[in-house]
């Protein structure tokens, strides 16, 4: 087995339509986007910046937003009509609220290494808690994710006549006189009190599936060259459309040559220095180097590897647009075939394969 925004306004329509042409040409396009180096979009109580097909055209199936919230800052109640949301908390703490179509609600606190997943259309909010800013990477299963597919509660309420709101909520129309008339997006507020250890009986209405998974707390798969933690629908049942992973590679280590038959791979580099080559068939290949804040991309079925070329441990978050994790490695493929067949395939003596691994080694030393 191998290792496997909320941004500016964008319609997700042509001229930013399907970007298949770059992958079909003579050369592969860039598979790196320097998200960390992009300017922050300042917000009231934090900032955000995004990588979608608008600025990273090859990333058709997945998009990402890097966001930071100050303590008490609230990413207001909203939902996404065109994408599910998978997130990894890089540092700090935040509180998330959710509601699903059955009216089930969940309120949970998240810390470093925690993951959340919101199915498409589920209402949610995110608020910074604690004493330090909270930073997280949001990844969406649609490269055309945009603000035109994100619906905010203040924007909606601000465009409903007060008399209709009065009927809907059974309160006087004057109640809404000072409500915002447009989207607030992100707003400062007090840090909320701790959640009760023992909620009042009858006060909760949780769904059958939780939106939280403690990825960093998961026992990792350990290899000579590093570790990997995978969270697919198998481990996190609500995450039906996406799989995530935390990959750490030792200096000089290699995430071996492999491909994913069922999904594109979207990468966010947290620390370290890496080199990745992506093979796109027909003699096409592209090698690029990555550092903290960079985004990498490997389209579905494209062969690739990740090598730690720095002096420190390499750490990155991986996301795939399928709830099932699938990976096929060159090591396992070679091991599954007779040496005589490989010799014929490569036109070399059979002895050339005598010392090849007899099974898969995802991250050899």
Evaluated on CA atoms 55, 298, 134, 72, the torsion sign reads positive
Annotated catalytic, 80?
Answer: yes
* Alpha carbon distance 136, 89 (integer Å): 4
Annotated catalytic, 124?
Answer: yes
Annotated catalytic, 304?
Answer: no
Annotated catalytic, 85?
Answer: yes
Burial class (CB in 10 A: 0-12, 13-18, 19+), 84: buried
Of 60, 76, 147, 307, which one is the catalytic site residue?
Answer: 147
Of 124, 248, 255, 258, which one is the catalytic site residue?
Answer: 124
Of 80, 95, 122, 304, which one is the catalytic site residue?
Answer: 80
Of 32, 43, 54, 75, which one is the catalytic site residue?
Answer: 75
Annotated catalytic, 95?
Answer: no
* Alpha carbon distance 73, 133 (integer Å): 9
Of 60, 76, 85, 265, which one is the catalytic site residue?
Answer: 85
- Looking at the annotation, which residues are catalytic? 75, 78, 80, 85, 124, 147
């Amino acid at each position: 087995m191998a290792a496997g925004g909320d941004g500016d306004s964008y319609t997700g329509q042509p001229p930013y339509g399907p970007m298949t042409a770059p992958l079909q040409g003579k050369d592969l396009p860039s598979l790196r986007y320097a998200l960390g180096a992009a300017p922050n979009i300042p917000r009231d109580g934090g900032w955000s910046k995004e990588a979608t097909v608008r600025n990273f055209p090859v990333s058709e199936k997945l998009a990402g937003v890097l966001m930071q919230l100050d303590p008490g800052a609230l990413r207001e109640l909203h939902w996404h009509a065109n994408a599910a949301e998978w997130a990894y908390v890089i540092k700090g703490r935040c509180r998330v609220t959710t509601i699903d179509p059955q009216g089930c609600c969940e309120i949970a606190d998240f810390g470093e290494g925690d993951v959340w997943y919101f199915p498409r259309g589920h209402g949610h909010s995110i608020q910074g808690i604690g004493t330090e800013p909270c930073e997280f990477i949001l990844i969406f299963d649609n490269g055309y994710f945009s603000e035109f597919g994100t619906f905010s509660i203040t924007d909606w309420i601000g465009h409903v006549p007060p008399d209709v709101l009065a009927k809907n909520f059974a309160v006087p129309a004057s109640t809404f006189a000072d409500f915002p008339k447009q989207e607030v997006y992100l707003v400062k507020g007090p840090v909320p009190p701790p959640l009760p250890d023992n909620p009042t009986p009858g006060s909760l209405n949780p769904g059958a599936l939780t939106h939280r998974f403690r990825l960093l707390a998961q026992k990792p798969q350990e290899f000579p060259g590093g570790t990997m933690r995978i969270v697919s629908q198998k481990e996190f049942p609500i995450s039906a459309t996406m799989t995530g992973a935390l990959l750490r590679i030792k200096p000089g280590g290699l995430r071996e040559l492999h491909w994913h038959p069922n999904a594109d791979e979207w990468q966010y580099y947290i620390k370290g220095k890496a080199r990745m080559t992506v093979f796109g068939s027909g003699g096409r290949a592209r090698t690029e180097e990555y550092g903290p804040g960079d985004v990498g991309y490997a389209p579905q079925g494209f062969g690739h590897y990740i090598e730690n070329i720095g002096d420190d441990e390499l750490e990155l978050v991986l996301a795939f647009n399928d709830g099932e994790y699938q990976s096929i490695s060159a090591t396992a493929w070679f091991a599954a075939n007779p040496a005589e067949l490989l010799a014929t395939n490569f036109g070399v003596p059979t002895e050339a394969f005598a010392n090849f691994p007899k099974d898969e080694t995802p991250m050899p030393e």
